[in-house]
């Protein structure tokens, strides 16, 4: 992601009409509305980099029970949704059973050479999920940009 941000900066400096918009904490519906509004108001093509759960086009996300961003964006016009794949590696995740930190990830058996795109529809149980695949290469865990805030000390409870 950092390399992509730096490349966008370089393209802008060279006069290319490219922009970067970061978003967080809006939920799938908030993200979809914000991106669709941005695209329509500026007549842009939008490349949204999100995890594969968010890019999914299924009517309902099997993890959250709500429509994923990919399905909501598709309601606002032509979109291309790619499922990220990788041969393995690690990611910084917070998981109840393991806490937060680098976690090993099992790769996709369909992983392509790094950087390749395959526009072969991805379906599961006859549901159209993605337009294709984009391979990221082996993943490496990046810690958060800043540590989580330390909770305030517990006040002593008074007993009567």
pLDDT digits (tens, 9 = 90+) for 100-120: 889 898 887 777 777 777 777
Q: Give residue limits of the domains in the chain.
A: 2-79
pLDDT tens digit string along 21-77?
777 666 777 777 777 777 777 666 667 777 777 888 887 776 677 788 888 877 776
pTM, two decimals, is 0.61
Using the predicted structure, report yes or no on whether residue 13 has a pLDDT greater than 90.
Answer: yes
Show Cβ contacts of residue 122 under 8 Å, excluding neighbours closer than 6 positions: 83, 128, 129, 130, 131, 132, 133
Reading phi first (left if > 0) and then psi (alpha if -120 to 50, else beta), residue 89 is in: left
Tell me the CA end-to-end span of the chain in Å, nearest whole number: 55
Cβ atoms of 39 and 76 closer than 8 Å: yes
| Cα–chain center distance at 107 | 17
What percentage of the chain reaches a pLDDT higher than 90?
Answer: 4
């Amino acid at each position: 992601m950092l390399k992509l941000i730096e490349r966008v900066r370089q393209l802008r400096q060279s006069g290319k009409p490219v922009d970067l918009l970061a978003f967080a904490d809006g939920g799938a519906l908030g993200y979809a509305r914000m991106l669709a509004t941005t695209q329509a108001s500026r007549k842009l093509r939008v490349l949204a980099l999100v995890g594969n759960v968010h890019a999914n086009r299924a009517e309902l996300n099997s993890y959250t029970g709500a429509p994923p961003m990919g399905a909501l964006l598709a309601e606002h016009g032509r979109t291309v949704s790619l499922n990220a794949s990788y041969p393995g590696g690690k990611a910084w995740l917070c998981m109840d059973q393991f806490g937060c930190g680098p976690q090993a990830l099992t790769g996709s058996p369909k992983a392509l050479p790094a950087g390749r795109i395959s526009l072969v529809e991805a379906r599961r149980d006859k549901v159209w999920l993605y337009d294709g695949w984009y391979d990221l290469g082996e993943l490496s865990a990046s810690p958060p940009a800043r540590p989580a805030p330390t909770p305030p000390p517990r006040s002593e409870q008074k007993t009567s």
